[in-house]
Amino acid sequence: MTTSPIHDVAIVGGGAAGLSAAVALGRSLRSTVVVDAGAPRNAPADGAHNVLGREGISPLELYATGRVEAEGYGARFRRGRAVTARRLEDGDADGFEVELDDGAPVRARRLLLATGLVDELPEVPGVREFWGKSVLHCPYCHGWEVRGRRIAVLGTSPLSVHQALLFRRLSDDVTLLRHTMADPGEEAWEQLSALGVPVVDGVVARLHSADESLRSVVFEDGRELPVDAVTVAPRFTARGELYVQLGGTLTDHPMGTYVATGPMGRTEVHGVWAAGNVSDLAAMVATANGAGVAAAAAVNADLVAEDARAAVDARAKRRLAAPGRRTG
C-alpha cells in the first residue's frame, strides 16, 4: 500500500497551462504537485511571441521562470512522465493516484491535465528537421519573422488554403503547393487567384537544405522551388491517455482530437480538469496561461465547497456526540 502524501491538486504537465495553474493554486495555499516530462510544444522555437511583458523570450527560459515562480508559492515538481492514472478505490483517500515512469506514485484530491498536444507532421523529409524554425504552422507565432519572405504552403487539407490566405497578409510571395490537397472548390481558387497566390501542382518529395538553412522544395518529378519558409498543417492530437484511463473520451475535431471541457476546464470525469492545448487545440501561450488560471480557480472553488460541506458534517457529528454543548 502506498504511503505517498495526498496533495490537494496534481497537475500533469508543466508548460504554459500547468505552470500558470500551479502559481494560482499556490497563491490559494493549495498543496500542489506538478509532474512534468519537460517537453513543451514550442521548445523548437527560438522565441515565444504574443507573450505580454516577455515578448520573444526563449520558451525554455519562460517555463524555467514560471517554475521558479510556482515554487515560490510552494508548488512541488516531479520530473518524469505520468504513465497511469486511477481513481483511488474505496478505503483509500478520496482522489487520484498518478504513477510516473520511474514507478513513483503521486496522489491528489483533484487532477488537472495540462499535457498539451502532439503535432503530427506531414511525412515529408526535411519537415521535422526544420520544424519550429523554417517549417511553420501558425502565422501569429512566427509569421512576423518571415514577413516579406518566400513562403510555400504545403497543401494537405482545405485548411491549407486558409493558411495561405493568412500568410499572404505577411508576404507578397506566397505559393500554395497542391501536394496531397483535395480540390478546395471554386471560391477558394478565386480567392487565391485574386490575392496573387500561385498554385503549383505536384507532390513534394523533400525539403532541400544547405549550410543548415532551408533552400528549396523538391518535387517528385525533380522540379525545385526556392523558398525561405514552408508552412504545414499538422494534425493536433491531444495527449489524452491519462484521461482515457480515467474513463474519459477524446472528442474528434477536423484538425485532431481534444479533451472537451466546460468554460473553466471541468471535464466529464468527476474531479478531473483540463487546460491548455490538451483541451483547446488553438490555444497559444497566453490563452493556455489564462485557461490554467481559470481551471486552478475552479479546482480551488470545488475543494473549498467540499471542505465547507465536510466542516458542516463534522460539526453536526460533534453536536450529536455532545448534545447541548456548542462546538462552534
- State which H helix or E strand residue 227 sits in: none
* Contact predicate 83/92, CB 8 Å: no
Interacting span for ligand FAD (CB under 6 A) from 158-166, 172-180, 215-223, 282-290: 282-290
Q: Which amino acid is at 238?
A: A
- Binding span for ligand FAD by CB under 6 A among 178-186, 197-205, 284-292, 295-303: 284-292
Give the helix ranges, DSSP H, for 123-258: 127-130, 139-142, 159-168, 186-194, 241-245
| Of residues 8 and 119, the one with the C-beta less far from ligand FAD | 119
Q: Which of residues 166-225 bind ligand FAD (CB under 6 A)?
A: none
Using the contact rule CB under 6 A, the part of the chain among 147-155, 188-196, 277-285, 296-304 near ligand FAD is 277-285
Check residue 305 for interaction with ligand FAD (CB under 6 A): no
φ and ψ at residue 36, rounded to 5 degrees:
-140, 130
The DSSP string of 287-300 is HHHHHHHHHHHHHH
Q: Which stretch binds ligand FAD (CB under 6 A): 2-10, 113-121, 170-178, 250-258?
A: 113-121
**Which of 82/218 has CB closer to ligand FAD?**
82
Task: Tell which one of 4, 5, 39, 224 touches ligand FAD (CB under 6 A).
Answer: 39
Shortest distance in whole angstroms from residue 304 CB to ligand FAD: 25
d(CA 104, CA 98): 8
Please report whether residue 50 would count as binding ligand FAD according to CB under 6 A: yes
Our measurement of the distance from residue 1's CA atom to the centroid of its chain's CA atoms, rounded to an integer in Å, reads 34
Of positions 272, 288, 294, 299, contacts ligand FAD by CB under 6 A: 288
Does position 24 interact with ligand FAD (CB under 6 A)? The reply is no
Dihedral pair phi/psi, residue 95, rounded to 5°: 145, -145
Q: Counting contacts by CB under 6 A, is residue 45 touching ligand FAD?
A: yes
Q: Which stretch binds ligand FAD (CB under 6 A): 112-120, 158-166, 176-184, 257-265?
A: 112-120
Q: Which is nearer to ligand FAD, 204 or 283 (CB)?
A: 283
Binding segment for ligand FAD among 23-31, 35-43, 182-190, 305-313 (CB under 6 A)? 35-43
* Whether the Cβ atoms of residue 134 and residue 213 lie closer than 8 Å to each other: yes
Cα separation, 25 vs 31, whole angstroms = 8
Count of residues engaged in binding ligand FAD, rule: CB under 6 A: 37
Whole-angstrom Cα distance, residue 238 to residue 12? Answer: 13
Residues 133-162 close enough to bind ligand FAD by CB under 6 A: 138, 141
Crossing angle (nearest 10°) for helices 16-27 and 285-321: 40
* Of the residues 10, 82, 151, 218, which one makes contact with ligand FAD according to CB under 6 A: 82
Rg (C-alpha) for the chain, rounded Å, is 24
Q: Does 128 bind ligand FAD (CB under 6 A)?
A: no
Scanning 48-56, 148-156, 162-170, 248-256 for contacts with ligand FAD by CB under 6 A, the matching segment is 48-56
Whole-angstrom Cα distance, residue 226 to residue 298? 51
**Quick one: which of 42, 45, 19 has its CA closest to 32?**
19
Distance of CA 10 to the CA centre of its chain: 17
Do residues 6 and 107 touch, judged by C-beta distance below 8 A?
yes
Identity of the residue, 244 or 308, whose beta carbon is nearer to ligand FAD in the bound complex: 244
> Does the footprint of ligand FAD cover residue 13 (CB under 6 A)?
yes
Q: Which amino acid is at 310?
A: A
Decide: is 229 part of the binding site for ligand FAD (CB under 6 A).
Answer: no
Q: Are 115 and 14 in contact (CB under 8 A)?
A: no
| Positions that interact with ligand FAD (CB under 6 A) | 12-18, 35-42, 44-45, 48-50, 81-82, 114-116, 119, 132, 138, 141, 239, 276-277, 283-286, 288
